Amino acid sequence: MSIAPPALEVRNLSVAYREAPVLRGVNWRAPASGLTAIVGPNGAGKSTLLKAALGLVPRLAGEVRFFGQELRQARRRIGYLPQRASVDWDFPATALQVAAMGRYPRVGWFLPLPRAERERARAALAEVGMADFAGRQIGQLSGGQQQRVFLARALALEADLYLMDEPFAGVDAATERAIIDVLHRLGREGRAVIAVHHDLATAPQYFQHVCLLNGGVVAAGPMETTFTAENLSRTYGGRLSLLDEAALRPAAAPPAGRPLRAVP
Amino acid sequence: MTLFLQLDFAALSAAVLACLACGLLGNLLLLTRQSLLGDAISHSVLPGLVMGFIVTGTRATLPMVLGAMAAAVLAALLISLIRRLARLEAGAAMGVVFSGMFALGLVLIEVSGARSVDLDVDCVLYGQLEALIWPAATGLSSLWDPVALADMPQETRTLAGVLALTLAGLALLWKELRLAAFDPDFAASIGFAPRGLSLVVLVLVSVACVAAFWAVGSILVIAALVAPAAIARLLTDDYRRQFLLSAAAAVLMGAGGYGAAILVPWLLGLGHGLNAAGMMAVVAGLLLALAWAFGPYGRVRRVSVA
Amino acid sequence: MMEALFQALTLSGGYNARVVALGCAAFGLAAGALGCFVLLRGRALIADAAAHATLPGLCLAFILAAGMGWNPRSLPLLMGGAAATAALGVLAAGALARGGRLRDDAAMALVISIGFGIGVALLSVVQSLPVGGQAGLSSFILGQAAGMSAADAWLIFWLALAALAAVAVLFRPLAVLCFDADFAAAAGLPVRWLDLALLGLMLAVTVAGLRAVGLILVVALMVVPAATARLSTERLSVMVPLAGLLGAFAAWMGAGLSAAAPSLPTGATIALVACALFLLALLFAPARGVVAFALRQRRLRQEAAMEARSA
């Protein structure tokens, strides 16, 4: 057992958007470092869990701690990567301007961005292979390139915990590779990454820990012991297609060419 | 020259200042897809404005701005309440709130007897640019004579102050406003309160609406808020140029509209000047049509690289 | 004043007042009923844009009539001009948004303000014409039931009734369209034509309301009663007649009030009555009202707290 406090601890968290609660009494301790996937069916409250933890949506009840601290004290150690579709990519901004937003906490209010900070943002773009696109309008980038710009902005924050909402949604294979390289480097550096992930086939390959979510936490822990067919069918309520128990039992990647996906 | 300074200069500067202040702020509305918020605010500040007028009995700016801002905040709250409870789309919720508030404002004007003083329905609809004169001007030197300048109409001086406030706000919060406009969730996650920033925008827009109201009336304020930003949006893809071009369009709209209101009837031999506020909208419409027809992002749907 | 109000509301104020009240109520009925479809199809702001874009048409019709020596106060002529530029305004909004760079909301705001502004400029041209009757034109902006002639009221009455009949005939297909346009298309309904018909009816009702309610607030009578009815019921077959009745009541009551106190602008009075009804529904509607919502939120909070304790 590690002595370090969990990167994210959620106690009795409940969130309701209109009438029906999306999250009911969620209790979860995310590991202090390494890559963790949040997996669950559509409408399970995966994105809501991240947003409620960050205070972006109001919570009905519950407490949230980052590294044992309140959000307010820990904010500088947290990096958020929103869903790509959550913003208007027609907005007049360049890739560099977006990446530079990750340096704003270092600059503070009211002051313009110093040249050194702009260079840090440029370096973050280079880390995701986007150095050549720094001056490009974001609206002219492909979906994968836009996602990389978002990742660069998150990296520019130099956080200890990253909360990523579907970082692999709608990206090309090259971008997926580039993102996973970055995630693994973050993991090696001892940082924590918590990502909402949709692809059950790649989850065991990419992540070391998993939190199976459907309104509440069904199971959470190391990938090998938690990502089992039994837990998955409890999470998805039997709504899995191609549920191949043989492929899942060793908790390894399913055989190539047989993607395992949840039925929406 | 002296005649121009006395009769036209105050009104012309009021027109340009109003268009500039509103046009610059309009960028923030347009880029966050809130153009209709300008519509809603300009309609719904009316009852607050009238209340401020009734309570103090003067056209002093502060009480009217306070009343208008209270009305704007109330309208914003009502719109979000109605959207949540009645599950109406934003447009319908705004339609309910701003027509109700505007109607309330009109009725308040009538029942309070404010019309007998100098706030009447005509002023609400068309503004009263033509009433702004600067009799103290004696020549070009008056432009830097503090005594003469102090004698400028209050509306013009207020607009100058509002423009200064707008420019200061934009300069001070340049990166913050861009961040909150582009990605409010990310802004909140790094502690740059987007709600506080959108409140700042709301306050600035309300103040600009109230100040510009005297110049162009409450409906043409919408043109000043939306048109310059929309024209710039059809011409550029760059954040800074967006603001510069919208400022240029705003100046053209204000000065061109005022000039056209005087020159067109003179050229056509009409007996009587045209409404300057209306002509500003005409000029804005022409500029918009040109930008739409010939601008790089006007008619054609851009082919995405992806 | 109370006596005058009583007279206006009980239709005992003479033939002219009776016809005007009837015309206003018929307009309110048609606007409320049609408004449900306008609202559910997400066309509320297009209606507002079209209404503001009627002002240039009114002025142009007036100028044309003055030039040709016709009667410039002829209501059918003014209505024709209003409908023409309103349709142009709708087309312009579509063209502006088509490029993809300006969104629908910006296009609407542009048509509303620039359309109105062009009208204001033309209005000042009208003022300089050497004919009489200009003052009547500005009553189209805020509405004035008081000075309406019986002939005008009858025209509004029949136009509203025709629109109402069209709504009744097209009820089923319009309901399907508003519920699910994709399904309507798949079911073989001519979605494009239905949308056009809805737009046409909307223009007709807008133009019918100009004289009484005025172009700035005519949208209120389409949107507000429909929103009120929506707060109170989920069923379209209840919502449409309810909205119609609410609209008729608001128009009749508002016209009566402003007939009794002529300084009150008719359009504003009618809109305020409609909004008062809406506020009542917003507070006290059984499922969607503020009070019901607050009670439900409290229950959810208590449940969450209880679960937290038991966990």
Task: Identify the residue with better confidence: B80 or A80.
Answer: A80
Q: Return the minimum-mean-pLDDT range out of A95-99, A211-215, C1-5, C237-241.
A: C1-5
Cβ-nearest to C304 among A19, A61, A90:
A61
Q: CB contact, 8 Å: B150 with chain A?
A: no
Q: Which CATH code fits B2-137+147-215? A: 1.10.3470.10
Cβ-nearest to B91 among C44, C101, C224:
C44
Distance CA A157, CA A99 (A): 9
List the beta bridge partners of residue A35.
A193
Distance CA C254, CA C146 (A): 11
> Left, alpha or beta for A258 (phi > 0: left; psi -120 to 50: alpha)?
beta
Q: Return the minimum-mean-pLDDT range out of A50-64, A148-162, B269-283.
A: B269-283
What is the rounded average pLDDT of the residues C125-138?
Answer: 80
Of 3.20.20.120, 3.30.9.30, 3.40.50.2300, 3.40.50.300, the CATH number of A8-248 is 3.40.50.300
CA of B150, closest CA in chain C: separation in Å? 32
Long-range contacts of A107-116, Cβ-Cβ distance < 8 Å, separation of 24 or more: A107/B175, A109/B176, A109/B192, A110/B172, A110/B173, A110/B176, A112/B174, A112/B175, A113/B175
CA of C294, closest CA in chain A: separation in Å? 11
- Each domain of chain C, given as residue ranges in start order, spans 2-310
Structure tokens at B188: 């909140």
pLDDT tens digit sequence for A88-112: 999 999 999 999 999 999 999 999 9
pLDDT score for B30: 95
Nearest to B174 by CA among A104, A229, C297, C68: A104
Residue type, C127: Q
Structure tokens at A170: 């709608």
CA of A35, closest CA in chain B: separation in Å? 20
Q: Are residues C227 and C39 in contact, defined by beta-carbon separation less than 8 angstroms?
A: yes
Question: Residue C301 and residue A61: Cβ atoms within 8 Å?
Answer: yes
pLDDT score for A30: 95
Residues of chain B with Cβ-Cβ distance to C278 below 8 Å are 96, 100
Would you say residue A259 has pLDDT above 50? Answer: no
Would you say residue A3 has pLDDT above 80? Answer: no
What is the rounded average pLDDT of the residues B239-261?
Answer: 97
Nearest to B37 by CA among C16, C278, C286, C103: C103
Task: Identify the residue with better confidence: B268 or B211.
Answer: B211
Q: Are residues B240 and B31 in contact, defined by beta-carbon separation less than 8 angstroms?
A: no
Beta-carbon contacts of A179 under 8 Å, excluding residues fewer than 6 positions away, are: A128, A147, A148, A151, A167, A168, A171
Residue with tokens 């209120």: C220
Q: CB contact, 8 Å: A135 with chain B?
A: no
Would you say residue B120 has pLDDT above 60? Answer: yes
Task: Identify the residue with better confidence: A198 or A257.
Answer: A198
List the beta bridge partners of residue A15.
A23
What is the rounded average pLDDT of the residues B148-170?
Answer: 93
pLDDT score for C113: 94
pLDDT tens digit sequence for B122-155: 888 888 888 888 988 888 888 888 888 888 998 8
Residue type, B165: L
Task: Identify the residue with better confidence: B55 or B247.
Answer: B247
pLDDT score for B117: 56
Structure tokens at B265: 């009837």
Confidence of residue B304 (pLDDT cuts 50, 70, 90): very low
List the beta bridge partners of residue A195.
A37, A164
pLDDT score for C240: 95
B44-B49-B54 Cα angle (round to 5)? 135
pLDDT tens digit sequence for C141-182: 988 877 788 888 899 999 999 999 999 999 999 998 888 888
Confidence of residue A238 (pLDDT cuts 50, 70, 90): low
Confidence of residue C11 (pLDDT cuts 50, 70, 90): low
Confidence of residue C1 (pLDDT cuts 50, 70, 90): low
Question: Residue B183 and residue A75: Cβ atoms within 8 Å?
Answer: no
Q: CB contact, 8 Å: C305 with chain B?
A: no
pLDDT tens digit sequence for C49-100: 999 999 999 999 999 998 888 888 888 999 999 999 999 999 999 999 988 8
CATH top-level class for C2-310?
mainly alpha
pLDDT score for C54: 97
How large a percentage of chain B has pLDDT more than 90?
A: 43
Nearest to C163 by CA among C121, C209, C125: C209
Q: Return the minimum-mean-pLDDT range out of B84-98, B250-264, C50-64.
A: B84-98
pLDDT tens digit sequence for C211-256: 888 999 999 999 999 999 998 888 899 999 999 999 999 999 988 8
Would you say residue B201 has pLDDT above 60? Answer: yes
- Each domain of chain A, given as residue ranges in start order, spans 8-248
- pLDDT averaged over every residue in chain A: 89
Beta-carbon contacts of B150 under 8 Å, excluding residues fewer than 6 positions away, are: none
pLDDT score for C8: 65
Q: Are residues A95 and A113 in contact, defined by beta-carbon separation less than 8 angstroms?
A: no
Cβ-nearest to B172 among A54, A110, A157:
A110
What is the rounded average pLDDT of the residues B232-252?
Answer: 97
pLDDT tens digit sequence for C195-208: 999 999 999 999 99
pLDDT score for A251: 42
Beta-carbon contacts of C243 under 8 Å, excluding residues fewer than 6 positions away, are: C32, C33, C35, C36, C225, C226, C228, C229
Q: CB contact, 8 Å: A221 with chain B?
A: no
What is the rounded average pLDDT of the residues A138-151?
Answer: 96
- What is the complex's ipTM, to 2 decimals? 0.92
Cβ-nearest to A14 among C100, C296, C304:
C304
Residues of chain B with Cβ-Cβ distance to C113 below 8 Å are 39, 219-223, 226-227, 281
Confidence of residue A240 (pLDDT cuts 50, 70, 90): low
Helix (H) / strand (E) element for C137: namely helix C134-142
Residue type, B6: Q
3-state SS of A155-216 is HHCCCCEEEEECCCCCCCHHHHHHHHHHHHHHHHCCCEEEEECCCCCCHHHHCCEEEEEECE
